[in-house]
Amino acid sequence: MTVNWKKGYYVGQEYVEDKDRISMRFDVQFYSPAELQSFDFYYKKKRISGSQEGRYLTVSFIEKLPRKLLDDIAENRKNAQQYVYGYLALPISRVNQEMLRQRYSLGHFLVSTFSFFDVASITLTNIDENPTDEVISMPWPPIFSAPPHSEMCNPETFIRDYIDSWNDYFKGDFDNCIRKLITSVENFFDFKKLNVKKKHPWWHLYARLTAHKPSFKDILNNLRKKSRFIGHEVVSMNLLFLYRVRNSITHGSLRIHQENGWWFCGKALETVQYFYQFLDGGDEHSNGAYAFRISAFASLLSYQTRGVTVEKSELLGKKISDEKLKDRTIQTDEDMNNFKFNNLRFTEDEKIIISKNRPRK
């Protein structure tokens, strides 16, 4: 494709501008050790069906894809399959909701949620009028290496919990993601000895007798009061809200819905990563730096597996063009911190949305 750089270019533009669209049926296979019920429903105006044969669940849905993209996928050119990854996100999200329903309504503990990384195969089949025999088996599965320079011989317990939280995030098990995140933070308090009783001289008998371990809220409030940095304030307030959500999940009826889990748990994971960085120093071999590398790698995977579609490339191209007309408002480190952490902050509207989540039938 010839690119006119004066007019600008965005990734995937050659596919966006291809008006020859072909209706393709996606057949996505997942391995399941459990016997699953078949399903067929509409979600976001998309029909999603699933049936099991042997140990494999096949999830099917239809998308219109550019002819040029299909040709490049068939010939394994330009890493074109990355533009198909994003189409899987919405169906997998709705299928996970169905998996959780079956797990609890059937009492079948082997029913698992799925992630992009659990896909066994993807087949695209032309279903347009006068269809050809066109069937494309995508190069699959992709293999992802570990984050660069991330090896740690014996990670602390809170780091292990943090890694497990990311695993639940990608599998769409958002309730467990939040549970493990808060457990991770509590174990970090133990690691840093932030939850020990305040020591008093032996002659302060009453103070010694009434001394108690600081609560989760006490620890975060004490940390926040010691700093005026916006990052410390936002992280502390976010963690307090996450703690309440964890308690409502563990001891109440709150259940995080699939359409909310990605943005909510994404903010939660980033919040905890910053918390560890703030309190564990800046050394590249510290636990905080280790958590940062894990988070950066996971964020890249999340973008690759959820954000890349032809439609989203078009929207991104328009956004980039529009932003060229705007003045740059970020000029200092303080501007950047305000922008970054205000976007990380849980807004009041977001808190209301999450607090109203309840189990679905």
225-273 confidence digits (pLDDT tens) = 888 889 899 999 999 999 999 999 999 999 999 889 999 999 999 999 9
Determine contact, residues 113/92, Cβ cutoff 8 Å: no
Residue 350 belongs to a domain = yes
pLDDT in tens, 247-258: 999 999 999 998
For residues 308 and 184, membership in a common domain is answered with yes
- CA dihedral sign, ordered 231, 234, 238, 239: positive
* 197 lies in the same domain as 298: yes
Whether 163 and 52 map to the same domain: the answer is: no
Going by C-alpha positions, the residue among 123, 131, 140, 144 that lies closest to residue 59 is: 123
Give 121's strand partners.
Answer: 29
Instruction: Determine the angle formed by the axes of helices 258-279 and 333-344, rounding to 10 degrees.
Output: 140
φ/ψ (deg, to 5) at 150: -110, 0
Indicate the helix (H) or strand (E) that contains 269: helix 258-279
Structural domain of 133 = 13-137
146 found inside a domain = no
Residue 115 and residue 192 in one domain: no
What's the structural domain count of the chain? 2
- Residue 7, domain member (yes or no): no
**Which tens digit of pLDDT belongs to each residue from 101-117?**
999 999 999 999 999 89
CA dihedral of 270, 271, 276, 281, whole degrees rounded to 10: 90
Contact at 8 Å (CB) between 187 and 161? Answer: yes
Domain presence at residue 107: yes
E strands of the chain, at which residues?
Answer: 21-31, 39-43, 46-53, 56-66, 119-126, 135-137
pLDDT category, 290, cuts 50, 70, 90?
A: confident
What confidence tier does 325 reach under pLDDT thresholds 50, 70, 90? very low
Domain co-membership, 203 together with 249? yes
Same domain, 218 and 345: yes
Please name the amino acid found at residue 292: F
Residues 80 and 229 in one domain: no
Domain shared by 270 and 346, yes or no: yes
Query: What counts of helices (H) and strands (E) characterise the chain?
Result: 13, 6
Tell me, yes or no, whether 150 lies in a domain. no
Are 166 and 132 part of one and the same domain?
A: no
Tokens of 128: 């347009």
216 assigned to some structural domain: yes
CB 248 within 8 A of CB 254: yes
Q: Are residues 74 and 102 in the same domain?
A: yes
